[in-house]
Structure 1
Amino acid sequence: MDPREVADLARLRRARDYMDRHYAQRLSVPQVASRALMSPAHFSRKFRSAYGETPYSYLMTRRIERAMALLRDGASVTDACFAVGCVSLGSFSTRFTEIVGETPFEYRRRDHGGMAGVPPCVAKVWTRPLRVPAGS
């Protein structure tokens, strides 16, 4: 790997960390790409190549991941939706169902008592939603 590629990866990591910290804010690809010092198109291509998903897909997965934690803690679906930065309950529910495999209401209603006493860092890994590529 040449020094330019290493520098690109460091900038992509910086942009990804920015999305992780600011997931609940309105974020656009141009805004995040500017953190990586790249054009939006170049950033999107590089991000997908490095992380296996588009920046938008990554951001939505992080939002759903955080919403899952809120729902396990008893937040309403509406409150979880808006707390993670989504502006449409319908779009949130559709994306949640696509990623998690059940509706937010079903997920919230399910017993999560088995997670009691589990450190948050471990719970985060155990419950992390995994995207399955289309056609797999």
Structure 2
Amino acid sequence: MSLTSEPRFWRDPRMPWAELRQVQDGRRVCYAPHSHTQWSMGAITGGCSTFLYRNQTHSIQKGDLVLINPDQVHACNPVQDQPWSYFMLYVDTGWLTRLRYEAGLLSSEHWQDLTPGVLSDPIWHRRYCLMAHCLMDADRDLLEKQEALVSFLSDLMVHLAETAPEPETGVPETLKAVADYLDQHATSDISLDELCDRFGYSPGYLIRAFRQHFHLTPHAYMVNRRIQLGQVQLKQGQSIANAALEAGFADQPHFQRTFKRLTASTPNQYRKA
């Protein structure tokens, strides 16, 4: 069987809190820096690639796992046209928070970042791949898939809790307010002057400070949010044209180009899943 660069997605409306993506040939699968609202975890199943996370670049290879906290900027890309393949799991943040809270790993039902970065452990990699193949198998029962995913995540959350990172300096409240404003008005035509007037920053300082803490400029952050809105529309069965409009894009071609640049898949490939 020949390998394909076209992504394969698993989604099940009976398990709406999880989504899985598989790429067998990632030599031409390139991402621009982006983020997800979900917690995500990837497994490199073949070859090697580079992993950009929080302005640090890691070399990763078969057997490595990458763990990405919600809203953290990242990108994985091939190395000099070398082959690589991977799975990528996306888990709803609220659902995972409840799982951790009910397991006694959180003192309250509020999200706390997990240990980020690269995990090189053959046992966890093997367990991840077994779970992923179970989800992708159309012949497996719903209960079996639920058990596979919940068991894997429950055990992993306990493991990560034992290696929790040191607390980091938080984002200044005013910059959080800028990000919240961009979240709420992502589909609007926002100007830099508007942001500066509203939050009391000079243009140059706002761009530098925002990029320092969010690893994206305000505009890139807003575009990333628009793509996330488009993904929601596509998963709900909306047409590409309607998804583009609802996500705040002026036309469908612009939406398609940006979607491909940030997700390394076309809107149609994503919607077909």
**Which structure: larger Rg?**
2
2:108 aligns with none
Distance 1:81 1:33 in 2: 28
Counterpart among 156, 163, 183 of residue 20 in structure 1: 183
Q: TM-score, normalised by structure 2?
A: 0.36
Structure 1 unaligned residues grouped into runs of 5+: 1-5, 111-136
Paired amino acid for 1:35: R
Q: Per-residue CA shift, 1:5-61, capped at 9, x if unaligned?
A: x8x821111111001111111112222233321122211111001111111111111
- What's the counterpart of residue 51 of structure 1? 214
**SS of match in other structure, 1:26:** coil
Higher strand share: 2
Alpha-carbon distance in 1 for matches of 2:198, 2:272: 39
Provide structure 2 residue ranges, at least 5 long, that are not aligned to the other structure.
1-169
2:193 matched residue in structure 1 = 30
The residue identity in structure 2 corresponding to 1:49 is Q
1:72 equivalent to 2:223? Answer no
- How far apart, in 1, do the equivalents of 2:229 and 2:209 lie? 25
Question: What is the distance in 2 between the residues matched to 1:92 and 1:63?
Answer: 9
Runs of 4+ in 1 over 6 A off after TM superposition: none
Distance (Å, rounded) in 2 between the aligned partners of 1:83 and 1:29: 22
3-state DSSP class of the match of 2:211? helix
RCO (CA 8 Å, sep 6+): is it higher in 1 or 2?
Answer: 1
Report the Cα distance in structure 2 between the residues aligned to 1:28 and 1:92, rounded to whole angstroms: 20
Distance in 2 (alpha carbons) for counterparts of 1:84 and 1:17: 17
- The normalised TM-score by structure 1 is 0.71
Q: Does 2:220 correspond to 1:81? A: no
Name 2:167's counterpart in structure 1: none
CA distance in 1, matches of 2:228, 2:202: 28
CA RMSD in angstroms comes to 1.6
Alpha-carbon deviation of 1:85? 1.1
| Partner deviation per Cα, 1:58-106 (whole Å, 9 max, x = no partner) | 1111110111011000011111111111113222111100111111111
**Alpha-carbon distance between aligned partners in 1 of 2:181 and 2:202, rounded to the nearest angstrom:** 16
